Amino acid sequence: MFRYLLYINFILLLSCENIIIPESEIIDAYVQKHKNERVRVFNVTECLTECFQDSGKLISQSLDSNILKLEIGHWMNCAISLNRNVAGFDYENGVLDLRIIDIPSGVKIKDEDTLFYYEYEACECYFIFNFELIGFDEIPDSILINNKPINNIGVFGTMLNQLSTQVEDTLKTKENARH
């Protein structure tokens, strides 16, 4: 009887033991889960500060030998870089949704939950992204980035548009008041 209690106690100790997985292995598994092998090329420029009034846009696209090549300008958080992001995509019914996925900068395991930490900055930048995607027979009808239209405007551009609208409205109000 004593021997069986020892075995049960030993099994319980093994099942309750915290298994420590190195942070790098957890992050590598995260990257592999989100990375799409059909993304042959994924490049991003440095922040282009001179583009503060530009809207996100499709700059160029071509299809050659089942390889879709895209060059896209888009506003995103300043922390975007090849070291901190991985690319994937979903393609369904003519809609290409490019996924630019943040790679966690840290991991913490608390109880049974895995918490990922990411780097963000309190700014937006205009970037140009280059993609080469394998396995396409046609050019997509529509392109999104992270399920949002590519023709976005940065915070500064949005503020300028709002200010411009306010000035126009004020001028129209004054003009109407004169008549």
Q: Is 96 helix (H, G, I), strand (E, B) or coil?
A: strand
Return the structure tokens found at 74.
């888009």
In the chain, the percentage of residues whose pLDDT exceeds 90 is 20
User: Does 4 fall in a domain?
Assistant: no
Confidence of residue 77 (pLDDT cuts 50, 70, 90): confident
- The whole-chain average pLDDT of the chain stands at 75
User: Does 51 fall in a domain?
Assistant: yes
What is the pLDDT, as a whole number, of residue 7? 36
User: Does 1 fall in a domain?
Assistant: no
Give the residue, 158 or 106, on which the prediction is more confident: 106
| Mean predicted confidence (pLDDT) in 106-125 | 78
User: Does 73 fall in a domain?
Assistant: yes
- Provide the domain limits for residue 75: 19-178
User: Does 12 fall in a domain?
Assistant: no
User: Does 14 fall in a domain?
Assistant: no
Q: End-to-end distance of the chain based on CA atoms, in angstroms? A: 103
For residues 153 and 159, give the distance between their C-alpha atoms in angstroms, rounded to a whole number.
Answer: 10
How many separate domains does the chain show? 1
Burial class of residue 97 (count of CB atoms within 10 Å of its CB; 0-12, 13-18, 19+): middle
Specify the pTM. Answer: 0.65
User: Does 6 fall in a domain?
Assistant: no
pLDDT for 20 beyond 60: no
User: Does 3 fall in a domain?
Assistant: no
